[in-house]
Amino acid sequence: MNLHGIRAIYKFEMARTGRTLMQSVLSPVISTTLYFVVFGAIGSGIRNIEGIGYTAFLIPGLVMLSLLMQSVSNASFGIYFPKFVGTIYEVHSAPLSYLEIVTGYVGAAATKAIIVGLIILATARVFVHYSIAHPGVMVLFLVMTTVGFSLFGFIIGIWADNFEKLQVVPLMIITPLTFLGGSFYSVHMLPPFWQKVTLFNPVVYLISGFRWSFYDIADVNVGISIGATLFFLALCLTGVWWIFRTGWRLKA
């Protein structure tokens, strides 16, 4: 394992955060703060959901929304930009295996997403008091989610051949799935038919498991949530393996 090579990619990607601090950190924190203000005001007439105050109920969903968007955007841009400027060939020519390249890029993207998520959790304290019933499970979901969606973002970055495509999946797929995945409401509040339909949304399992780690309440059994998250992670790992195995969109 070439740790020096992994460290070089990781440090380069992490340094980019400092150069784009407004976009990488401040923007998602400000956006999430606005969600707290707006939805907190709208939900002032909702006393609680399953015994949890509405503003506190929002926290896991809003953190998960930021985690998904940050993981995908950081990883997709991180690998797409070298393709765009042509420096990807320098990475290929370096004494690095495919595993080491992916570890560097995905590790940096996941780290940045986790940092943003923790900052948002700290910011949430300004608006509402909350507790974390199962901190170990919370960390597990943080890591699994950020690594899984960073891998997914890495695949998007390889697939995209222009900046427009780079934004299509996050804006047109991930954001709607997150909004319809129980970020702002409990799935149990929906009519029975829509409860069943919602279970086809993979983001439901992420948000449900993450919320369980805070308040011991969940729309889906936490074991199923962990299993679904691991399954998505395995799919993304398989996709990345296939890309490097075939050289798809890497050698053209």
> Mapped to the 3 state alphabet, what secondary structure does 97-114 carry?
CHHHHHHHHHHHHHHHHH
Q: Is residue 138 situated within a structural domain?
A: yes
In this structure, is residue 251 part of a structural domain? no
Q: Is residue 106 part of a domain?
A: yes
Counts for the chain of helices (H) and strands (E), in that order: 12, 2
* Nearest Cα residue to 79 out of 142, 166, 5, 4: 166
Cα–Cα distance measured from residue 9 to residue 104, given in angstroms and rounded to the nearest whole number: 5
Q: For residue 100, is it within any domain?
A: yes
Structure tokens at 59: 């926290």
> CA-to-CA distance for 234 and 211, rounded, in angstroms?
23
Q: What is the pLDDT of residue 41?
A: 64
Q: pTM, whole model, 2 decimals?
A: 0.92
* 143-197 pLDDT, tens digit each: 999 999 999 999 999 999 888 889 888 889 999 999 999 998 999 999 999 999 9
- Domain boundaries, position 111: 3-246
Residue 134 lies in a domain: yes
The predicted model gives 16-40 an average pLDDT of 78
Residue 252 lies in a domain: no
Among 49-53, 184-188, 205-209, the range scoring the smallest mean pLDDT is 49-53
Residue 39 lies in a domain: yes
- Between 29-43, 62-76, 132-146, the lowest mean confidence (pLDDT) is in 29-43
For the segment 225-230, the average pLDDT, to the nearest whole number, is: 97
Q: Which amino acid is at 107?
A: G
Q: List, in order, residues 6 or more apart from 85 with CB less than 8 Å away.
A: none
Q: What DSSP assignment string belongs to 123-158?
A: HHTTT-----S-HHHHHHHHHHHHHHHHHHHHHHHH
* Within a domain: 88: yes
Q: What is the pLDDT of residue 121?
A: 93
Exposure letters 128-149 (e unless 16+ CB within 10 A, then b): eebeeeeeebbebbbebbbbbb
Distance CA 227, CA 2 (A): 31
Q: Is 204 exposed, middle or buried (0-12, 13-18, 19+ CB in 10 A)?
A: buried
Q: Is 252's pLDDT higher than 60?
A: no
> Using an 8 Å Cβ cutoff, are 189 and 46 in contact?
no
Query: How many domains, the chain?
Result: 1
